[in-house]
Structure formats: structure tokens, C-alpha cells
Amino acid sequence: MKIILNSIINMLKSKLILLIIPLFFSWSEGIKTTQKPLNVVWISCEDMGPILGSYGNDVVKTPNLDKLATEGVRYTNAYSTVGVCAPSRFSIITGMYSARLGAHNMRTGDYHNYKTPEQVTHRNDIGVIDKAGKNIPEYEVVPPPNVKPFTEILRANGYYCANNFKCDYQFNAPFTAWDEVSSTVSFRDAPKDKPFFYVWNTLLTHESRIWERSNKPLTVNPKDVEIPSYYPDIPQVRNDIARKYSNIEAMDEKVGEIISQLEEDGLLENTIIMFWSDHGGNLLRQKRAVGNSGLNVPLIIRYPNKIDAGKVDDRVVSLMDLGPTVLSLLNIEPPKHYDGKAIAGKYEESPRKYAFGTADRFDESTDMQRSVLDGRYVYIKNFMPELPLIYRNKYRERITMNSKLIQMDSLDVLEGNAKYIFMKTKPFEEFYDLETDPYEVNNIIDDPKYADRINNFRDALQNWQNEINDQGFIPENKIVESFWPNLIQPKTENVEFKIRHDGLYELTSITKGASIGYQIDEKIGTNSWNLYHKPILVGDKQKIVARAIRLGYKASEITSN
């Protein structure tokens, strides 16, 4: 009898253990939790398509990112919403299409880095004319009141959120979005009792570093680079591509340092790492392009304990999906109004069929293009076909090869695919098969073999534009007027204080959509603001100040209890 009882007890213990084991996993793919909540680190680079070793480029040496890919999940069909940074980063921070909310023009003002409300200025004349011939001043996009930086959700859930250091959201980053934004902040600055969400941005691969780092030694030999077929094989092209590759290798070294720091601090196996670029490549017909060359980006996610190590995911994903995915992985339900979808975690959604891209005003140059991509095919609709594909843009012409190619075009000495991208007018539609035409130079829009597929892409674009009420059809001056009537920036109303019967303070602003920050005692007067998200306890002898901000509005005055 005793033996039988022991057997039953052991069997029950085994079943109990099997029941308990799933509790140690926070979601279906098996991220193991510990006593500490998960941390998240974003490693964000600029202006780079998927040309890493792990994506098949054996000329660029990226051992740290290649290792990250072998220990994580590598996405092959990840896309930005726009082929340039500010509208793309607007979509990332808000989870919304920039063309839905009038944030699609590049760029609206000098908001690259965080500024206090007192540091923000707006110039009335920056030499920009919209498609209606109207002057466009600097302005800030004013989204609907329910649209806020997703980091505020993380802060409300107890996360320390730090950004090193780029913002560039088409509005000045609100003081409620981050605990700290600076060029020196690290995840190591997080309070010991808080999990962190940390963003490290590197400019090493940015378009501007092609000329700004021209005096740095090349780590890639120009004779070894891969030249896209839409460039002629000339020394200027080889040298600038070698500089691009060398900058990527320098970036990879910095990535290795970040990962090593996490490992040294014992945080690597409690941290989700996401590596991505804000849009595609940084050279001509890459940056600002609406096709695959401008929108396809690398995306690698490494999970604690190397869950799904080495997996290759071919789903179509958007950079808008990053924010909701972070929330989902941390068991926080993303807001329903997001265009972005969680691609992992508790609230993972069904995959999207298409990625949609936009191109409108870039600096002083105006156009309107829309695209649909599914990982294999690219459909582009040109709404201003009378304009050339390669238009003049002062900023990008500081790259030697770009200005050289423009000169060669003016002399009519370009041939073949290089001549193709310098078309003087654009076809109304373009369609490319990336499997046979990876450089998008053979437009098969009139090939009857693809007629049905092309119609599907046309319908998808039309339905998407209708669904988001595409703001690209509206002259930019009208959009600015809708944000700032009479070109006067609205101001957020001051915070009001109310003491409840239980002694807790309630803070409110009558401006719909306003977020509120507050400071207590020694924090007063600093640039660090706590995010108000629930009533707070303030001691009898403590002083509290608060101010409110709605995106695109002026901040309120600082008021006190």
C-alpha cells in the first residue's frame, strides 16, 4: 500500500510540475521570465537596406550583427513606410501611417533631437514651396488627441524609457515621452528598481556620413563592392559604395559594444534586443525612393535565452509594428487605433499581406508616389508622372557619386539601367518582380502575364488610400492650416490641481489629448518630468509643479499646487 501511495504522490508531483512550468513562460514562443521584468533595447541605424552578412552580403563584415541574427529572428520582408527618416520615425513612435495624419512631408521642422518647450522655434520661410505654389513654414504635425508616443504607455507601466538620442518625429518630442533623451544616456542609467526600454541610435550609416567620413580609412576595398545595375561602374561610384560599406562596419563595432555591456551587466538574458534601420539605402535611387530599394530594411529580434535562434521570418512587416510588438511582448495590450500590428507576443496579430509606402515632399523637392510591396513584387503609382524620377536635391548632391551621375546625365553619357533611373518623366505605373529583377529596372506593368496580379495591387492601393484618407492629395499649406489655424500654433491649457478626499492629487488639463508631466521637490527645474497617469501622493511639505503638452501644440505654462 505504501508503495502505491508513493507512486500516486510522485505522479501528482510530476503533473503539478508540468502545470507550473508554463507559468514561467510569458507568451507562446517561450520567453522565460525571471523575478525581474523583461527589458527592451532598440539598436537603430540610419539609411541602410539589408546589406549585412546575415542577409547575404559577403563583402561587408558585420560579425556582431551576424551573431545577433544567429541568436535571434531575422526578418526578410521588413519595410519602412517612407524612404526617409522623419515621416518614418513618426510612424514608429505613433504606430500610425504618416499619410493618414498629414505627417508625410519631409520634414516639418528642426526636431531631430529633443528640445525643451522653451528651446523650440519655427521659421516662417525655409525656401519650401508646396505643390500649390504656396510657401511652407516650419510647423509641427498635430495628430488626433488619442495619438501619443507609445513610450508613454511603457512609462505608465513602470518602465524607464531613455533615448540616445535622435527623435525626428515631425513634432518636437514631448517631455512626457522619455525619462531622458541625450547623447550620453545609457540603459545603465535606469533606476535599479525599474525595467528599461532603451533606444540607441547611430548616425554612422546616415547619408551625410558618406561625405562627413570621407577622410576616414576605408575598411572595404572599392574593387570588392557590389554595384547595383542602375549605377555605372566608375571610380566615384565604387569609392562611395566602399565608404558606405566601411561605415556599416564601423556601426557594427558599436553594436558589439552595446551587446557586450548588456552581457557584462548580466542583462543580456533578460533583455529583448531589436535591431533595425529607419528606411532603405542612403545613395541615389535608394533614399527617398518608394520601391524596395528605399523601403526594405533589416530587422533582427534577439530574445532572452536565444528563443527561435536562427529563425528566418518571411512575413511582411512594417516598422510601425515595432511599438505594438514591444507592448505585446511585455504583455501590454496595444491601443486599438494603431495601424501597426504586434508581430510577436501575447497580442500578436495576423500577418499583413502588403506593405504600403509613400513619397511626397523631400526638403525643397515635391513629388507624390505610392507603392505596394509583398516581398516579391513592387507596384508603384506615380501621381506626378510629369516629373523626373531623379529630381534635384541639394542635400544628397553633396555625395560625390550623386553629383557625378547628375553631371553624366546632363551630358547624355549614361547607358542602360543607369540611364533608366534618370528618366525625364515617369510612367504612370511601375511593376517589378524582385525575383528576376532585384534592382527594379525592368518595368513589366504592360506584360499581360502579370495583368491579374497587377490589378490586385492596384485594388490594394486604392482601398488603402481610401481607408486612411490619404493626405497626399491635399496641398501642404492646407494641411498646415488645419493643424495651426491662421498659422498660429495652439497652446495647451495649464494643469489644474485637485486634492481628493483620500489626499491624492489629480492633475488635469482641459486640452483634449494633452499629456501631463510633473516634478516634485528636488526635480523641480530639471528637464526630467514624471508622467502623470494616475492620482499621486504629495507630502504636506512637498512642492509639486506640472505642465501639459499635446502633440503639435505649445506646452502649457508650469503651474504649482
Residue 30: predicted pLDDT: 57
**DSSP, res 256:** H
C-alpha cell at position 195: 525595467
Whether 293 and 407 map to the same domain: the answer is: no
- Whether residue 167 lies in the annotated active site: no
Whether 307 and 158 map to the same domain: the answer is: yes
Residue written as cell 516650419?
A: 138
Whether 512 and 459 map to the same domain: the answer is: no
How large a percentage of the chain has pLDDT more than 90? 93
Note whether residue 357 is domain-resident.
no
**pLDDT beyond 70 at 8:** no
Note whether residue 362 is domain-resident.
no
Whether 78 and 200 map to the same domain: the answer is: yes
**Looking at residues 33-48, what average pLDDT do you find?**
88
How large a percentage of the chain has pLDDT more than 70? 94
Residue 113: predicted pLDDT: 94
Lowest mean pLDDT among 20-29, 113-122, 259-268, 383-392: 20-29
Alpha-helix runs per DSSP H in 276-335: 292-295, 322-329
**pLDDT beyond 50 at 115:** yes
Q: How far is Cα 480 from Cα 140, in angstroms, rounded to an integer?
A: 8
What amino acid occupies position 215? N
35: confidence class by pLDDT, cuts 50, 70, 90: low
Q: How far is Cα 188 from Cα 151, in angstroms, rounded to an integer?
A: 18
Whether 254 and 117 map to the same domain: the answer is: yes
**pTM, full prediction:** 0.94
Whether 443 and 506 map to the same domain: the answer is: no
Q: Which of 287, 314, 341 is the last residue of a domain?
A: 314
Whether 181 and 59 map to the same domain: the answer is: yes
Residue 18: predicted pLDDT: 36
Distances in Å between the alpha carbon of 192 and those of 36, 43, 320? Answer: 11, 22, 30
Per the structure, the complete domain to which residue 400 belongs is given by 369-471
Residues with Cβ within 8 Å of residue 292, at least 6 apart in sequence:
280, 373, 378, 432, 434, 438, 440
Whether 514 and 465 map to the same domain: the answer is: no
Question: CATH no. for residue 554?
Answer: 2.60.40
**pLDDT beyond 50 at 25:** no
> Which helix (H) or strand (E) covers residue 161, if one does?
strand 160-164
Residues with Cβ within 8 Å of residue 279, at least 6 apart in sequence:
47, 80, 82, 83, 84, 85, 88, 287, 294, 295, 297
Note whether residue 419 is domain-resident.
yes
Note whether residue 540 is domain-resident.
yes
Note whether residue 336 is domain-resident.
no
Number of domains in the chain: 3
Catalytic residue among 45, 85, 161, 167: 85
Whether 227 and 373 map to the same domain: the answer is: no
Residue 7: predicted pLDDT: 45
Residue 455: predicted pLDDT: 98
pLDDT digits (tens, 9 = 90+) for 183-207: 999 999 999 999 999 999 999 999 9
- Neighbour-count burial of 264, counting CB atoms closer than 10 A to its CB (0-12 exposed, 13-18 middle, 19+ buried): exposed
